[in-house]
A and B are shown apart, each in its own frame.
Chain A
Amino acid sequence: MPGNRPALVGEEAAPALTGGPVRPLAAVPSLAQSASLAQSASLAQSASLAQSASPAAPLGAASLTTQAATAGALRRSPPGRRRGRAALRLISPVVVLVVWQLVSKAGLISAQKLPPPTEVWSTAVSLITTDNPAYGTLQDAMLVSLERVAIGFAVGGTIGLLLAITAGLSRFGENAVDPLMQMLRTLPLFGLIPVFIVWFGIGEAPKIILIALGAAIPLYLNAFSGIRNVDPKLAELAHVLHLNRREVLTQIVLPGALPQILVGLRQSLGVAWLALVVAEQINANAGLGFMISQATQFLRNDVIFVALLVYCILGLLTDWLVRVLERRALAWRRSFIAA
């Protein structure tokens, strides 16, 4: 039925949700581009800070495993087999740890350049148990970092989602918001650091704003295309059932966009952690990044490794949280595959 579009949430919203001229293909390039943003961000980061290659891992993992995780959520295997597979996946990391330990103990690489796992472990224990005048305690540093990423991610994520809803539900909103977001997307995130220092000084503000900006963009891009890809037939249904604006948003639009919003959430978290690592090494006086820059001055590679490992663990932990959320929120889809 060409040209036949119903009103959904007021006049301006109707074409947006159901619209013929909306570009459904927009999803593909924006996803690809947000992935490339992430990559270029990690490139910029590894170029400027040689030692922090490893914290980039949660980000890379987030964007790479998205597909696999979705597929995993859709396919259900017996719990026993899944546990068996998890055990198999542990083998190679354990082998790497053992080889690392042996190489270090055999003196092939100096312990100062690459401290063996046992030394990293004992350093971690002492950082936790003693309040070192140079570093403080590990848990305090971790809490400071966690707080930065939580505030930045909450602010950026909320803004990204609200902008996506604004742009997704009306043509006016799209015209107002989308060009700006597309322009921001192409800005090299970490290239903004000098500007932020001039604008916001060297306190917490530039760090949190950098994280928020990094988190807002992938969530915006994914949520926007998710909203635009909600089945227009459901928009007609909403009209026939006389749903009000709020019900359309909470019961049709957002749940329909949720699979892609969750993809955006994982990308956002990845970028947030990455932004934290970079932000913290600039004029911080607390946090994991501060610990790393102190350790650099004292040539304590073992402390750097501990801090990097904590970054890794925190990144993996948040990724796992989103996956749990995904599994619960998308139960309706999983049951479809299992049936």
Chain B
Amino acid sequence: MAPQLHSSLKPAVRVRGLNRSFGPELVLDDLDLDIAPGEFVALIGRSGSGKSTLLRALAGLDRDITGELQVDGAVSIAFQEPRLVPWRRVSDNVCLGLRVPKPHERATEALAEVGLSGRTGAWPLTLSGGEAQRASLARALVRDPSLLLLDEPFSALDALTRIAMHQLVLDLWENHQPAVLLVTHDVDEALALADRVLVLASGRIGYTCEVTAARPRDRNDPSLTALRSRLLAELGVD
């Protein structure tokens, strides 16, 4: 099910020696990272470890970084809060800045894909949390990104909605095959979705593990249980 990884291909993301400091504090310290095209990577770390800083650097939202950072192709991001523009209807939000012929048709298709066909004309403030995140995903994916950045997009959702959203993200990923970098503080979420889980500690990738279990994954799968204990230990939770 996972897209095949070809090491010969140009990586979707290549980061070398990335540094970012806030005052005297070095948040990213000589960080290296590669993400293959179509690879689903989860980035976990304690709060304040610099997860979001790295993601913002990849999104081009941070100008005060030093080091080498290459992203091949278009980048889209779904933020933690969906950040829909409240005065534009849902489909107009998806169209925002979309430079393709017939943007509205593309938006309608994208919204259908995330299960929001009935809400294309709704005002964003009338959407539920899950619906707003779906719209935000549609807005990110309609741009055909080669890298999709997800900044804890499910952390504010209730448990049931989150499960549905996990499946939706996997479906979208399979259909569009972007490289994905999911920032999360939820080890289970990382293990349920990613090909590879990275732990960010002391400003660099401190630990990496591959998750090979077939999707959809059973959270009680023994291989996942072992990885979970290891990741929690890496995060300093016993």
Contact = CB atoms under 8 A, between A and B. Distances in A.
B56 A1 contact: yes
Interface in B13-34: 22-23
Contacts of A241: 96-97, 139
Contacts of A237: 79, 83, 85
A240 B77 contact: yes
B26 to A, nearest CB: 14
14 contacts: A6-B60, A233-B83, A238-B97, A239-B60, A240-B77, A241-B96, A242-B97, A255-B85, A255-B87, A255-B88, A331-B123, A336-B86, A336-B123, A339-B125
B159 interface: no
A237 B140 CA distance: 11
A58 B135 CA distance: 44
A3 B20 CA distance: 11
Nearest to A248: B97
Interface stretch (B61-69, B160-168, B209-217): B61-69
Contacts, number: 72
A332 interface: yes
Contact of A234 (B53, B76, B85): B85
Given A251-B88, A333-B125, 10 more contacts: A6-B63, A237-B79, A237-B83, A240-B61, A241-B97, A251-B96, A256-B87, A332-B124, A335-B123, A336-B86
A174 to B, nearest CB: 21
A31 interface: no
Nearest to A256: B87
Contacts of A239: 60-61
Interface of A: 1-4, 6-7, 233-234, 236-243, 247, 251-252, 255-256, 258, 331-333, 335-336, 339
A236 B52 CA distance: 14
Given A240-B77, A241-B97, A242-B97, A4 B56 contact: yes
A2 B126 contact: no
Interface of B: 22-23, 52-53, 56, 59-64, 75-77, 79, 81, 83, 85-88, 96-97, 123-126, 139
A235 to B, nearest CB: 10
A4 B64 CA distance: 8
A241 to B, nearest CB: 4
Contacts of B126: 335-336, 339
B85 A233 contact: no
A336 B56 CA distance: 30
B220 to A, nearest CB: 37
Given A1-B52, A336-B126, A6 B85 contact: no
A4 B61 contact: yes
Given A236-B61, A251-B96, A332 B125 contact: yes
B214 to A, nearest CB: 33
A332 B97 CA distance: 20
Contacts of B76: 240
A331 B86 CA distance: 10
A59 B106 CA distance: 48
Contacts of A252: 85
Contacts of A255: 85, 87-88
Contacts of A238: 97
A333 B125 CA distance: 8
Contacts of B97: 238, 241-243, 247
B97 to A, nearest CB: 4
A4 B55 CA distance: 13
B77 A233 contact: no
A333 B139 CA distance: 21
Given A335-B125, A336-B123, A7 B63 contact: yes
A189 B126 CA distance: 44
Contacts of B85: 234, 237, 251-252, 255
B96 A332 contact: no
A1 B125 contact: no
Contacts of B79: 233, 237
B9 to A, nearest CB: 25
Contacts of B139: 241
B221 to A, nearest CB: 36
Contacts of B81: 233
Contacts of A256: 87
Nearest to A244: B97
A6 B62 contact: yes
Most buried by A among B22, B60, B123, B124: B123
A287 B22 CA distance: 64
Contact of B22 (A2, A335, A336): A2
A331 B97 CA distance: 23
A251 B95 CA distance: 12
A62 B23 CA distance: 48
Given A2-B22, A4-B64, A335-B123, A243 B96 contact: yes
A82 B217 CA distance: 57
A249 to B, nearest CB: 13
Contacts of A242: 97
Nearest to A3: B22
Nearest to B92: A251
Given A251-B96, A256-B87, A332 B59 contact: no
A3 B64 contact: yes
Most buried by B among A6, A239, A243, A332: A332
